[in-house]
Every structure is written in structure tokens, then in C-alpha cells.
Amino acid sequence: MQERAVTAAGKRYELAAPFFVLATQNPIEQEGTYPLPEAQLDRFMFNVWLDYPSYSDELTVVKNTTSNYKADLKKVLNAEEINFFQDLIRRMPIADNVLEYAVKLASKTRPNTPYATPNVNKFLSWGAGPRASQFLVLGAKCNAAIRGKYSPDMEDVKAVAPAILRHRIVRNYKAEAEGVSVDGIVRELMA
């Protein structure tokens, strides 16, 4: 069962279902913050990379956030509907070969284990744990549902794999020295 609380500055806050936690991480400015330990990062389903906005998008952001502009937000789903869809995704069937592909993909990231590739053994100090396998399956099911499919296939696993694996894999010094990225390793494992 998923814990329904967050702690900030030592204070615990109970959360009603459904809920999600969104966090940002700036790759250069760390003053006043500290990186989360791998065990805490592992609890986040996705690590989504956001690059700089385009010039026109940045103009819109600056215009809207430095004026009295008020966005007209419209509710798309209510809590009951979100809970329904979460249950629906968990009930979505998945073929054994797709389930096995997801688990094997996570297993391939673990250095010095039976499925590890030579580059994983060479460049990683730590791989993705079982939570990654769970999230690969749930993410693939969501990806399939969004595309109107009744069951996910390997392409759905591949579609979500980078965002699910990138914060669960720890590169070693050799990888950093040689400029080997986590996303590059994930791409190699999916090839």
C-alpha cells in the first residue's frame, strides 16, 4: 500500500487519495538544497527531463508571470475519476512476454548480474531495483491506454523506460570520465 503522507521540514502532512508529488531538480544550483538519496529518488515514478523553453514559449512565460494575468483553469478529472482510472490501469491485462521484457530491462541495468551487459558492468555502480520493473509495467499500461490499446506491448515499455530508469541508475566514475550518459545506456539496453 502506498503511503499517503509527505514530510517537509520535519512536519508530516497526510494526503487524501489520489495524490502525487512533483519535485524539481536544478542540475547546477544546489545551494540551500541537497540531493535526495537514491532510495528516496526511487519512489518517484518518472524523472522527466525538461530543457530550456523555446524563445517564444519563454516570452509567453515571462509575459504571463510578470503581469496580472490569471489563468482560467478547468478541471479535467475529479478525484473519483482518477481513482477509477488508476484501478482500471491495474486491471489492464499484459502479455507474459511484455511483462518479462519489462523485468528483464530493469534486470539488465544491474552490474555483475546474469543479464548485465558489458557496458553496464563497465559503467554502472548501481542499477534499477524491483520498483523500476513495477513502474515499467504500470507506465506501459498507461501509455497503451492513452493510445487506445487494450494491452501494452514492448513499444509501450520502451516509450516510458527512459523516464522511469534514468534516476534509478548510478553511473560510476569511469562513465562520468568518458561522458557515458544514463540515457545512452538505457537506449543501448532497449536496442
Same domain as 48, residue 106: no
Alpha-carbon gap, residue 66 to 68, rounded angstroms = 7
Q: What is the DSSP letter of 28?
A: S
Q: Does 26 reside within a domain?
A: yes
Residue found by looking up cell 509527505 in the block? 6
Alpha-carbon gap, residue 162 to 186, rounded angstroms = 6
Question: Tens digit of pLDDT for each residue in 37-55?
Answer: 777 777 777 888 888 999 9
Kindly state the average pLDDT of the residues 73-102.
96
Whether residue 27 has pLDDT greater than 80:
no
Identify the domain containing residue 179 by its residue range: 92-190
Q: What is the pLDDT of residue 38?
A: 73
Pick the more confident residue, 6 or 168: 168
Please, which pLDDT band fits residue 30 given cuts at 50, 70 and 90? low
Whether residue 34 has pLDDT greater than 90:
no
Q: Does 185 reside within a domain?
A: yes
User: pLDDT averaged over the chain?
Assistant: 90
At residue 124, the 3 state secondary structure works out as: strand
Same domain as 112, residue 176: yes
Question: Tens digit of pLDDT for each residue in 95-143?
Answer: 999 999 999 999 999 999 999 999 999 999 999 999 999 999 999 999 9
Structural domains in the chain (count): 2
Same domain as 183, residue 109: yes
Sign (positive or negative) of CA dihedral 73, 76, 156, 22:
positive
Where residue 129 sits, what CATH number does that domain have?
A: 1.10.8.80
